[in-house]
Amino acid sequence: MKLALFDLDNTLLAGDSDFQWAQFLIEQRVLDREVYEARNIEFYEQYKAGTLDIHEFLDFQLKPLARHSREQLDAWRSEFIQKKIMPLIAPGAHDLVAKHKLERNVCIIITATNSFVTAPIARILGIDHLIATEPEQKEGQFTGRVSGIPSFREGKITRLEQWLDKHNLTWLSFLESWFYSDSLNDLPLLKKVTHPVAVDPDATLEGYAQQNGWPIISLR
């Protein structure tokens, strides 16, 4: 058995779904542009620089979910997927996923972006398993808080190992493992797999990949 892990934003997607979701809500006038746009850009720059405080960001990102009904959120999300996400799917993403599925590898998207935004994207990409940051829910409504450990940096390893344990698996269950990512934030998990692959990487990850002989590919 073999394991294939895929980061989502700026890897399988040629853009960031978390950033785009906030921008979409701003464009829909759900969020005030003056208040939210500069903050959204600031958080995105922190993420790219590797300095993001994930809990501060999630407080910003998840609170709007608590202010609206699930019915309304679902309607916005459907429009968001069509308008913002479909054009961002990297040209090579489907072929890469199909290659691993053809080899019957266990395929998982593992992303810091919350599962409300990313679950339909995983389905579009044909990947059954998703490990994402989980928004807390009570009686079917979002509370605006995070549930459990965010799937970010070292948290991706923790969440993956929790997933493996739930499925009666460990790292030793897999002869080989791949992780495809663009981001310096994913170095902890990239170092854990047998086949780390830098995909359209940021400058830090590109340099690290070159120094360590990791493959560097583009899906765009």
Instruction: Count CB atoms within 10 A of the CB of residue 184.
Output: 21
User: Closest Cα to residue 201, out of 220, 219, 187, 181?
Assistant: 181
7 annotated active-site: yes
The encoded tokens of residue 28 equal: 């829909």
Instruction: Read off the amino acid at residue 200.
Output: D
Quick check: helix, strand or coil at residue 30?
Answer: coil
Asked if 175 and 1 touch (Cβ cutoff 8 Å), the reply is yes
Q: Which of 9, 16, 186, 200 is catalytic?
A: 9
Residue 169 is classified by DSSP as -
Q: Which of 7, 18, 186, 200 is catalytic?
A: 7
CA distance 195 to 216: 11
Residues with catalytic roles: 7, 9
